Structure 1
Amino acid sequence: MPQEKSYFAIRLPHGWWLFGLDLALEDDIDMCQYSYFARIAEERLGPGDQVVLVQHCPSWLVDWFWGRCQGSNLRQLVRGPLRGRARLQLAEATAWHHA
């Protein structure tokens, strides 16, 4: 199937969701992604549902290395619409590179 977006949300069994993030070159999600994931969190996630965040690189290591905080849009999504339901953050460590 042709890919329409570079990010996605998939409902998994037992009240879990997988949010595939595209941090692009900014190490943050853009406002279109924020709106997409916020809408899913507010309209489709149940009260006990949990979310796994998946991204292409471990931004927490990049942030630690450069001495900064995770992207503000992603941080707002986790603290706002997800309200503590983001339980795990995964990344592809072998793809980690930053100029």
Structure 2
Amino acid sequence: MLMVRAIIRPEKTGVVLSEMLEGGFPAVTKLDVYGRGKQKGIKVGDVYYDEIPKVMLITIVNDEDKDDLIKIITKNAKTGKEGAFGDGRIFISPVEEAYTISTGKVGL
């Protein structure tokens, strides 16, 4: 199992979640987060913004489903055909075990 964490632009959340559901990935945790990427924030006039609002989507998938999910996220989170700075990042981490609290069932 793998944990997929995608940090995306807030305005892309609806379409990404919709396409994840359509693609067979209904389970997701959504968090509002703030941060900055490689661009080190944004300067507008004399004002510097280093806490840019983003959304983090977290889901757990079987190893063999990772590539399909990444394609869905990257296709729908990208701005324009070429994408742009600030479109986000996807992080993949191994998950050793998962338990359903109500049933005690192990796995997804």
Q: TM-score, normalising length from structure 1? A: 0.29
- Higher share of residues assigned strand: 2
Q: TM-score, normalising length from structure 2? A: 0.28
In our comparison, the structure showing a higher alpha carbon Rg is 2
